Amino acid sequence: MVLYPEKMSRVRIIGSNSWRHSIISSIHDAGFLQLEPVDPSIEKILDRGVSGELYRKISTLLQRFRSYEMILPPIEVRDRMGKLPLDKLLEEAEKINISSDLESLKDSETDIQGELKEISMRLYALDLIEGLNYDLSIYNNSFVTSYVAIAKEEKIQPEMIKQRIPDASIFPLPSGNYIVSIPENLESEFGKAASDQSFDLLHIPVMSGSPSEYRSMLMDKRNKAEDALKVVKNDLMEMSETYYQKVVQYRESLEIEARKLDVSEKLSSTKNAFVMEGWVPAKRVEELRGIVEKASSGASIVSTVETGEEPPTLFNNPKKFRLFEFFVRFYSLPQSDEFDPTLIFGIIFPIFFGIMVGDWGYGLIILIGAIWLVKRIDHPRANSHIPKKLSSFALTVLGKNPLRILGKTLIPGSILAIIVGLMFNNFFGFPLLPVTLFQTSTGFSGAHIGAFPPTPIVIFHVALVIPKLLLLSGYIGLAMVTFGLVLGFINETRRKHRRGAAGKIGWILLAWGIAIFGLNLIHHDTSLNPAVSLSTPIAVGLIIAGLIVIIATEKARGAMEIPSIISHVLSYTRILGILLASVVLAQVIDLIFMKGVEKSPLLAVVGIIILIFGQLFNLVIAIFEPGIQGARLLYVEFFSKFYNGNGKYFRPFRSVRKYTSENEEK
């Protein structure tokens, strides 16, 4: 069933040791078995395997190729390598031995970069002491060592340095900094003085000659180092063009083989056979049996195992609704034996969102923005008009996949917002259409024929619509709460929790009893006399029956939660509240704009500014508020009636391939 996760089966595989690696490899490539520890009662009579020579050989090669990949400059990998037999993979990988060449180039690169860093530091020191045209050798010799004292927030007070270190020689610089020369044995005391006065110290390196001569020498040295670095980088790039694709392909293949071998070598076994267990979708048990039998030439047994352990959860939703699994996972993963609310969320959330936006202008902008967002994420441009910091912040906070899901989620909701907006004749608050099906506000004061916007023909007036919509939102709340309780009843029945199932019936009786009684109060029909009206006695009877069942099944906890059933039903009236708030705010902004245009050119300019920024502000609210409140109504008022969550993720034994394929190399 779509409303439930995949049914899982625990399987046990017993195979011949001679086919062990072949079976493990086939299971890995199939990718739908989650490995689990073997049942303790069986494991205690078996031996635990240890890593052998083959595993160590693969690990050594893998480490070598990882180091190659770290050193080589990355380039685009255009082709995928097919799967190689293990012996062929090891043979081909052994042929690529570029360690000495890469290490030599990397050492040269490191040495040159260190030299450039040293040159940059000396040039920086020269910049600081540029104002003093002395021979640079005077700053460091057998008697003194020199520092540049760099001011931070407050000015440096040289007299205080002199008090601490009488033998110090202090030279002011035009920048407000100072050169301080001190005996070498007083460096520690000078450091304390710098800390007390809160200024930074830069040691002047050993140099000689005039500043201009030394700078010229450093610039020549830097140019030569940069040229040498370019040569090294070019050599690395040439090696990368030759080897990088093979390196990443072999590295990925070795990682996969190491994973397989790690499982294979550590399985519980006897001298001749091994045992492994795991979870697999029930509908694929026969497929697994066929894969294992083919890999072992029939020298294996695959059987299902009865267990009381909770299975992992694997979603089972139609393709178009899988993006909504993100929102269910965000809340909590369903357990394997309870309803998966993904499909319900995918249907209800866009409806709530569209109703709460209620403006076809906002809906159109949200639709265009959502489509653009999805396309931009799937096909990013090299040059974008969006500020880099803003896009980086969005990607850092949410990530590409959540942003893509958010964009795709907004598309159906925005389409429904356009439909609802057309029904209410709201385009950024303006009634542009000649006919309004439902009028939700009083519109523009003083509107007349020929004015903008035109006065539309109203089918259902505001005085009639809002009370009806309020009542409709209450009915939606009652329906959603009841639906949730019905799902909860089914869950409890499937688990054979009779008390829990009875409790759900009690809540349904209470919810409907309160709803019927509330409607009777609105219509002033509160007579308990069956001859006058049957609805009120029925409502009271439902309330009493519901209370009795709830208290009997859920005791004090149920009694404490009785008021919540009313708040959960009434909470759905926020659908109308957010709709009206958005519509009224848009129309207030529009009214200010229209009045400004009528009064004077200056007020017209002010009105245009208010219109632009006000509508932008309302658009942001129209995106976030319906989204947050729509999700909240489902998470809190709906999920709480049937959903426990806290399921375990299904993590099959497989590897994600980026540079290789599962097809055999030809």
Q: What is the pLDDT of residue 584?
A: 85
- DSSP assignment string, 45-73: TSEEP---HHHHHHHHHHHHHHHHHHHSP
User: Residue 69: how many CB atoms within 10 A of its CB?
Assistant: 17
Q: Judge if 219 and 327 occupy the same domain.
A: no
167 occurs within a structural domain? yes
SS3 202: strand
Q: What is the pLDDT of residue 48?
A: 60
Q: Judge if 324 and 220 occupy the same domain.
A: no
Confirm if 479 and 512 have CB atoms less than 8 A apart.
Answer: no
> What distances in angstroms separate CA 193 from CA 23, 146, 187, 203, one per listed residue?
72, 15, 10, 15
Q: Residue 456 corresponds to which amino acid?
A: P
SS3 565: helix
**Residue ranges of the chain whose pLDDT lies below 50:** 442-450, 463
Confirm if 334 and 608 have CB atoms less than 8 A apart.
Answer: no
CATH value at residue 217: 3.30.70
Longest dimension (CA), the chain: 117
Q: Residue 19 corresponds to which amino acid?
A: W
607 occurs within a structural domain? yes
Q: Looking at the chain, how many residues does it have?
A: 666
Q: Judge if 461 and 599 occupy the same domain.
A: yes
Q: Judge if 327 and 454 occupy the same domain.
A: yes
Number of separate domains in the chain: 2
Q: Where a domain ends, among 199, 225, 251?
A: 225
586 occurs within a structural domain? yes
Confirm if 659 and 252 have CB atoms less than 8 A apart.
Answer: yes
80 occurs within a structural domain? no
- Report the distance separating Cα 157 and Cα 507, nearest Å: 79
CA 430 to chain centre: 37
Rg (the chain; Cα; Å): 38
- DSSP assignment string, 502-557: HHHHHHHHHHHHHHHHHHHHHTT-----TTT-SHHHHHHHHHHHHHHHHHHHHHHH
Q: Judge if 341 and 462 occupy the same domain.
A: yes
Of 146, 215, 156, residue with least CA distance to 181: 146
Q: What is the pLDDT of residue 190?
A: 85
Say which residues have a Cβ less than 8 Å from residue 612's Cβ, sequence separation at least 6: none
Q: Judge if 218 and 334 occupy the same domain.
A: no
Q: Judge if 578 and 453 occupy the same domain.
A: yes
Q: Where a domain ends, among 225, 243, 272?
A: 225
Q: Where a domain ends, among 225, 257, 286?
A: 225
Q: What is the pLDDT of residue 159?
A: 84
Give the tens place of pLDDT for each residue, 396-452: 656 678 888 889 999 999 999 999 888 888 888 888 777 776 666 544 443 443 455
351 occurs within a structural domain? yes
User: Residue 660: how many CB atoms within 10 A of its CB?
Assistant: 21
Q: Which two tokens stand for residue 340?
A: 């998966």
487 occurs within a structural domain? no
Confirm if 483 and 643 have CB atoms less than 8 A apart.
Answer: no
Q: Judge if 325 and 462 occupy the same domain.
A: yes
| pTM score, whole prediction | 0.75
- DSSP assignment string, 587-651: HHHHHHHHHHHHH-HHHHHHHHHHHHHHHHHHHHHHHHHHHHHHHHIIIIIIGGGT----PPBP-
Q: Judge if 346 and 220 occupy the same domain.
A: no
Give residue 449's domain range.
319-466+573-641
> What distances in angstroms separate CA 45 from CA 86, 177, 275, 589, 611, one per listed residue?
31, 79, 11, 79, 79
549 occurs within a structural domain? no
- Report the distance separating Cα 219 and Cα 253, nearest Å: 47
SS3 666: coil
Q: Characterize the bridge pairing of strands 660-664 and 457-460.
A: unpaired
Phi and psi at residue 48, in whole multiples of 5°?
Answer: -95, 130
Q: Judge if 326 and 204 occupy the same domain.
A: no
283 occurs within a structural domain? no
Q: Judge if 339 and 459 occupy the same domain.
A: yes
Q: Judge if 460 and 608 occupy the same domain.
A: yes
